[in-house]
Amino acid sequence: MSIFRPFCFSAILLSGCASQPATEMSRDEVLSSRLPGTWECSLIEKSPDGNLSIESTDQYLPTGAANSFGSMTISGGELPVELKFAFSVAGTWEIMDEKLIVTSQDMKIKNVSHPEMDSFFNLEEFMPQGLSDASTIRVLTSEVLVLGIDRNSPPIDCSRIDG
């Protein structure tokens, strides 16, 4: 037996003891690493007070920038006609306590179906710049993102499109 064998074994054992333990990522860090990409999202909410439908393409960049564009339809309730809007939003995103928080920096909403109604129903006035929205992340995999605004509202269902 070589004199170096016990020495090598001791060195290996000691190096293993001296190494730093692997740090485990927090749940928010795991979610933050999975989110970046481009997603097609939809929300459909129906109630006696009116119906809301949103279709969007949402992009979350690793830098924390966020972009969204799409269409929104509002109907029923006290509205005499169905209103369709086109929108775009640029802002930032972060994940905190398993919630996706998006803060708008530039938001544009255009009534594409009945612009004559803007004088008494201008949706852009109800959504100021700098608006923050927090949604609970119910599911986030490499292909699926499901967000919830609250327990009683329908989910926002998203599919990754840059896969």
Contacts of 131 by beta carbon, 8 Å cutoff, 6+ apart: 103, 104, 107
Which tens digit of pLDDT belongs to each residue from 85-118? Answer: 999 999 999 999 999 999 999 999 999 999 888 8
Instruction: Report whether 158 contacts 43 (CB < 8 A).
Output: no
Picking from 17-26, 46-55, 79-88, which range would have the lowest pLDDT averaged per residue? 17-26
Q: Residue 11 is inside which H or E element, if any?
A: helix 4-18
Nearest to 55 by CA among 81, 82, 87: 87
Contacts of 41 by beta carbon, 8 Å cutoff, 6+ apart: 54, 55, 56, 57, 58, 70, 145, 147, 156, 157, 158
Q: How far is the C-alpha of 33 from the C-alpha of 30, rounded, in Å? A: 5
pTM exceeds 0.95 for this model: no
Opening angle at CA 140, ends 105 and 93, nearest 5: 15
CA distances from 35 to 48, 81, 88, 103 (A): 34, 37, 20, 16
Which tens digit of pLDDT belongs to each residue from 112-129? Answer: 999 888 887 777 777 767
pLDDT of residue 163: 61
Q: Is the pLDDT of residue 34 over 80?
A: yes
Please give the domain boundaries of the chain with CATH numbers for all domains.
Answer: 38-160 (2.40.128)
pLDDT of residue 22: 54
